[in-house]
Amino acid sequence: MTYDVAVIGAGVFGVWTAYQLNRAGLSVLLLDAYGPGNNRASSGGESRIMRLGYGPDEIYTRSAQRSFKLWQELFASFASPTPLFHQTGVLWLARKDDDYCEATLKTLRAVGARCERLDQAQLTERFPPFNFDGVSWGIIEPDAGVLMARRAVQAVAMKARANGVDYLEEAIASPVVDRNLRTVSGKAIDARQFVFACGPWLPKLFPDLLGELIHVTRQEVFFFGVPPGDDRFRPPRLPTWIDFNDLVYGLPNLDSRGCKIAIDAHGPEFDPDRGERIVSRELTQAVREYIARRVPLLANAPVTETRVCQYENTSNGDFLIDRHPDLENVWFAGGGSGHGFKHGPAVGEYVAAMISGTEPPEPRFSLTTKERIQQRKVY
């Protein structure tokens, strides 16, 4: 059979793209080398923050707002035994003269998102587990929270398949040099259009084109065990928090996994197929020091679980969603850059619109823009 579109990669960008293309009436084959939300994929983590704030970058605030609505509609359409979204609230910790947080507040208000500015006294009263030393004020996004990432990706894949998307668990052989796609086992993939939503694997599949545009970095995540029967580490007392000035973010105790802490600074280059996923002594120490300072009640908490994942960073954090410059029926959707998960639904809609030719392309997502703009940074 010749499919209208083959989507390669069943991470968050790929499953939502397949889902949206199917809804647009196209026949779709979805492929993944290791399975939807697998533990090497960037989307394979336990949880991902769903927030609307993006400094002055209204394009991402609006995309997150649209995506949030689509996530909620999808979750409402079937019964999940445990929630796929936790409304924890997201708290931004701001410093004095914090331009990024000021811009975040302004943009949130401009798009009509619920948010509140809190001074230090209000922060201390509302969120007792924190030590707010060095923090002058904060923003709370009360409707925001946490998507249960791996399970959410699997749920979208399941829904897409129930709607008629075919699924194949095989790897496309890399590098890709022409439009005659074959899997590693030699199977020909017959489709009119191909979308490569391969996240951190994109530079391997297209080394000449994307090798310098997407950098894959090793990122470490830690879970700290909370005392038994202690609900001080659950929302609303402990929300999800963003401490970008310290390049750290944290999540409360969800699904009884303990508090999650991660360092947002980019680690060394990482191979998503072969990289060993064992955390380093240095970052374990750095995270321990951070949590002892910011959430002193957890100063002696044990690390109960760790993960090593990878970011697929573009030079400025903008997504990379474009058509191949030489192969006109080949598209890319990637460059999630450590913040892409929440945007899966809007990315899927955008790719479907690009393929159907119903919307003009967004210059910030294009290959050529990536080469031009080096200075801006999206979180």
In contact, 136 and 98? CB cutoff 8 Å: yes
174 near ligand FAD, judged by CB under 6 A:
yes
Tokens 């909620």 identify what position?
72
Task: Give the one residue of 8, 94, 248, 321 binding ligand FAD; rule: CB under 6 A.
Answer: 8
List Cβ neighbours of 13 (8 Å cut-off, separation of 6 or more): 197, 199, 333, 334, 336, 340, 344, 347, 348, 351
203 near ligand FAD, judged by CB under 6 A:
no
- For ligand FAD, the closer of residues 28 and 262 by Cβ is 262
- For ligand FAD, the closer of residues 297 and 354 by Cβ is 354
Residue whose C-alpha is closest to residue 344's, from 197, 236, 242: 197
- Cα separation, 244 vs 98, in Å, equals 11
In contact, 341 and 149? CB cutoff 8 Å: yes
- For ligand FAD, the closer of residues 101 and 347 by Cβ is 347
- For ligand FAD, the closer of residues 187 and 372 by Cβ is 187
In whole angstroms, how close is the CB of 262 to ligand FAD at the nearest point?
6
Tokens 């019964």 identify what position?
79
28 near ligand FAD, judged by CB under 6 A:
no
Coil vs helix vs strand at 4? strand
- For ligand FAD, the closer of residues 16 and 297 by Cβ is 16
Task: Give the one residue of 92, 137, 223, 311 binding ligand FAD; rule: CB under 6 A.
Answer: 311
Residue whose C-alpha is closest to residue 313's, from 279, 266, 351: 266
Tokens representing 303 are 């690390």
Instruction: Give residues 31-60 in contact with ligand FAD (rule: CB under 6 A).
Output: 31-34, 38, 41-43, 45, 48-49
Instruction: Give residues 251-310 in contact with ligand FAD (rule: CB under 6 A).
Output: 262, 309-310
The pair phi, psi for residue 90, each rounded to 5°, is -125, 125
Residue whose C-alpha is closest to residue 210's, from 340, 348, 313, 353: 313
Tokens representing 208 are 């000449």
- For ligand FAD, the closer of residues 16 and 137 by Cβ is 16
Tokens representing 66 are 């649209």
- In one-letter notation, the amino acid at residue 318 is D
Give the interface size with ligand FAD as a residue count (CB under 6 A): 40
Task: Give the one residue of 104, 154, 193, 219 binding ligand FAD; rule: CB under 6 A.
Answer: 219
Task: Give the one residue of 6, 11, 88, 148 binding ligand FAD; rule: CB under 6 A.
Answer: 11
3: number of CA atoms within 13 Å, CB side?
26
In whole angstroms, how close is the CB of 191 to ligand FAD at the nearest point?
14
Instruction: Tell the burial category of 329 from Cβ atoms under 10 Å away from its Cβ (0-12, 13-18, 19+).
Output: middle
159 near ligand FAD, judged by CB under 6 A:
no
330 near ligand FAD, judged by CB under 6 A:
no
165 near ligand FAD, judged by CB under 6 A:
no
Scanning 93-101, 169-177, 296-304, 370-378 for contacts with ligand FAD by CB under 6 A, the matching segment is: 169-177
- For ligand FAD, the closer of residues 272 and 297 by Cβ is 272
In whole angstroms, how close is the CB of 229 to ligand FAD at the nearest point?
28
Task: Quote the DSSP letter at residue 3.
Answer: E
Instruction: Give residues 332-361 in contact with ligand FAD (rule: CB under 6 A).
Output: 334, 336, 338-342
Tokens representing 256 are 């009884």
Per CB under 6 A, residues contacting ligand FAD are 8-14, 31-34, 38, 41-43, 45, 48-49, 171-172, 174, 197-201, 205, 219, 221, 262, 309-311, 334, 336, 338-342
